[in-house]
C-alpha cells in the first residue's frame, strides 16, 4: 500500500523522482534481499498508477533472497522464512508499506497473472444526482471499446476493449461540513491509461445535470463517436487501486508485522486528523462576509455538451502519424 500524494506515479521509467517503485527497490537493496541485479529479478508490477494515485492492494513479483535451501521445500510456518513484511517496512518511507507476501511459481508475473483489478474513487456528494450517475455507471459494465475514456497511446496500444465486471456508487458513512463522502467502486479485468479518471469525469457531468446518462452510450459507440471529445479527467488524489485478484495466491503476514502495520496506520491517521483539526480551527477564525447587493454574481462557465466539443485525433489518425514519423526517422 502507498499514499501517492508526493510520488510521481508508481513506475520508475519516467525518470522523475520520487516514485513508489524506486523507493521499494531502495528498501530491497538496503535490506540486501535482491538476488543479483534488478534486471535479473524477473520483476513485474500489477498496476501502473499515475502521479498522486494511492493503493491499498498493489502487487509486484520478483526473485528475492530466501532462507529456504530447496525451492521445493514446504514452508512450515512463517518463522522458517524471512519476515519480508517486517524487514522491508523498516527500510521504507512512512507512506509506503508492504502488507503481505506469497511464494509463487517461477513463471508467475504480477501483470499477466492478474485476473482482475478493483479501483475506488472517492468524492463529496454535494448537489450531485447520484441516482443518475449510477444509471450511467451501469452502462460501463461488460466489454466495450474505451478509447473515448482514456489517454490514447497509439504507438503501443492497439486494442482498447476492456471488460468491466462491476461499477457501483455507494455512500461511505462519513460526513464533513454538512457533506457526505461517497465512492465509485469499479472492478474489471484490466484498465487503460487514465480510464477510471475519465469515466469519473463523465459521471460527474451526469451528476451535475450537464449531461444525460445516455452520453455514455454515445461515447462507447466508436462508429458514432470515433474521436474523443476534449474534456478534463477527474483529479488523481481521490483514486485508489484497492486490490488485485489472483488465482491460488494467499498472502501472508506475521502477527508481529501485522500488529506493527496496524499501529503505524493508526498513528498516520491521528497525524492527518490533527492536520484536519488545524484547518477546522482556521475556519472558526474567519468571519463570513455579508453579501454585497451592488456586487454582480460571477457568471457560471457555460457547459459545452461533450458531443459538441472539439475532438482529439482518432486512433487511425494517430497511427498514421506514428508511421509517418517512423518513416522519416
Identify the pLDDT of residue 200: 98
User: For 255-299, what is each residue's pLDDT tens digit?
Assistant: 999 999 999 999 999 999 999 999 999 988 988 777 777 777 777
90 burial class (0-12, 13-18, 19+ CB within 10 angstroms)? exposed
Question: In the structure grid, which three cell numbers stand for residue 79, read together?
Answer: 518463522
Residue 69 has pLDDT above 60, yes or no: yes
Choice among 50, 70, 107, 179 that is catalytic: 50
In terms of DSSP bridges, do strands 161-176 and 142-145 run parallel, antiparallel, or are they unpaired? antiparallel
Which residue has cell 509517418?
Answer: 324
For 83, other C-beta atoms within 10 Å of its C-beta total 17
Q: Which domains does the chain have, with CATH numbers?
A: 1-68+80-113+247-266 (3.30.70.580), 116-241 (3.30.70.660)
The band of 14, judged by pLDDT with boundaries at 50, 70 and 90, is low
Identify the pLDDT of residue 45: 94
- More confident: 81 or 137: 137
Residue 66 has pLDDT above 50, yes or no: yes
Residue 32 has pLDDT above 60, yes or no: yes
Range scoring the smallest mean pLDDT among 40-49, 188-197, 218-227, 317-326: 317-326
259 phi/psi in degrees, rounded to 5 = -65, -40
Identify the pLDDT of residue 26: 96
What DSSP letter does each residue of 48-82 carry, written as one string?
A: ---TT-EESS--EE--B--S-SSTT----SGGGS-
Look at residues 27, 98, 55 and name the one whose alpha carbon lies nearest to residue 264.
Answer: 98
The band of 156, judged by pLDDT with boundaries at 50, 70 and 90, is confident
Residue 38 has pLDDT above 80, yes or no: yes
> What is the percent of the chain with per-residue pLDDT over 90, rounded to a whole number?
78
Q: Are 87 and 66 in contact (CB under 8 A)?
A: no
User: For 158-173, what is each residue's pLDDT tens digit?
Assistant: 999 999 999 999 999 8
List Cβ neighbours of 52 (8 Å cut-off, separation of 6 or more).
Answer: 4, 5, 7, 235, 236, 237, 239
* Mean predicted confidence (pLDDT) in 32-39: 89
Please report, in angstroms and rounded to a whole number, the separation of the first and last CA atoms in the chain.
42
Range scoring the smallest mean pLDDT among 61-70, 193-202, 250-259: 61-70
For 8, other C-beta atoms within 10 Å of its C-beta total 18
Residue 76 has pLDDT above 70, yes or no: no
Mean pLDDT of the chain: 92
Identify the pLDDT of residue 300: 77
Identify the pLDDT of residue 240: 98
Q: Is 50 a catalytic residue?
A: yes
Question: In the structure grid, which three cell numbers stand for residue 230, read together?
Answer: 476534449
Read off the pTM. 0.91
Identify the pLDDT of residue 178: 87
Look at residues 180, 165, 184 and name the one whose alpha carbon lies nearest to residue 238.
Answer: 184
Amino acid at each position: 500500500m502507498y499514499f501517492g500524494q508526493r510520488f510521481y506515479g508508481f513506475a520508475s521509467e519516467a525518470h522523475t523522482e520520487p516514485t513508489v517503485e524506486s523507493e521499494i527497490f531502495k528498501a530491497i537493496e538496503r535490506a540486501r534481499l535482491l538476488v543479483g541485479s534488478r534486471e535479473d529479478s524477473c520483476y513485474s508490477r500489477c498496476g501502473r498508477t499515475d502521479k498522486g494515485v494511492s493503493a491499498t492492494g498493489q502487487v509486484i513479483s520478483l526473485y528475492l533472497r530466501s532462507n529456504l535451501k530447496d525451492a521445493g521445500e514446504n514452508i512450515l510456518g512463517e518463522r522458517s522464512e524471512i519476515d519480508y513484511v517486517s524487514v522491508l517496512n523498516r527500510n521504507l518511507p512512512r507512506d509506503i508499506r508492504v502488507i503481505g507476501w506469497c511464494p509463487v511459481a517461477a513463471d508467475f508475473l504480477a501483470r499477466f497473472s492478474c485476473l482482475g483489478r478493483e479501483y475506488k474513487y472517492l468524492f463529496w456528494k454535494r448537489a450531485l444526482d447520484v441516482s443518475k450517475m449510477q444509471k450511467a455507471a451501469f452502462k460501463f459494465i461488460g466489454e466495450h471499446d474505451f478509447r473515448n475514456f482514456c489517454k490514447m497511446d497509439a504507438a503501443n496500444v492497439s486494442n482498447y476493449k476492456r471488460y468491466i465486471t462491476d461499477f457501483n456508487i455507494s455512500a461511505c458513512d462519513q460526513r464533513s461540513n454538512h457533506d457526505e463522502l461517497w465512492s465509485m467502486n469499479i472492478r474489471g479485468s484490466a484498465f487503460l491509461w487514465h480510464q477510471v479518471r475519465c469515466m469519473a469525469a463523465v459521471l460527474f457531468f451526469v451528476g451535475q445535470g450537464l449531461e444525460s446518462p445516455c452520453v455514455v452510450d454515445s461515447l462507447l459507440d466508436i462508429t458514432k463517436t470515433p474521436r474523443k471529445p476534449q474534456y478534463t479527467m477527474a483529479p488523481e488524489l481521490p483514486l485508489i487501486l484497492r486490490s488485485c485478484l489472483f488465482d491460488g495466491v494467499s498472502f501472508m503476514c506475521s502477527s508481529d508485522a501485522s500488529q506493527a502495520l496496524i499501529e503505524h496506520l493508526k498513528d498516520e491517521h491521528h497525524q492527518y486528523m490533527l492536520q484536519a483539526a488545524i484547518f477546522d480551527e482556521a475556519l472558526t477564525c474567519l468571519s463570513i462576509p455579508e453579501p454585497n447587493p451592488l456586487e454582480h454574481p460571477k457568471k457560471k462557465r457555460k457547459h459545452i455538451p461533450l458531443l459538441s466539443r472539439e475532438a482529439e485525433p482518432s486512433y487511425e489518425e494517430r497511427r498514421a502519424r506514428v508511421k509517418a514519423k517512423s518513416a522519416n526517422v
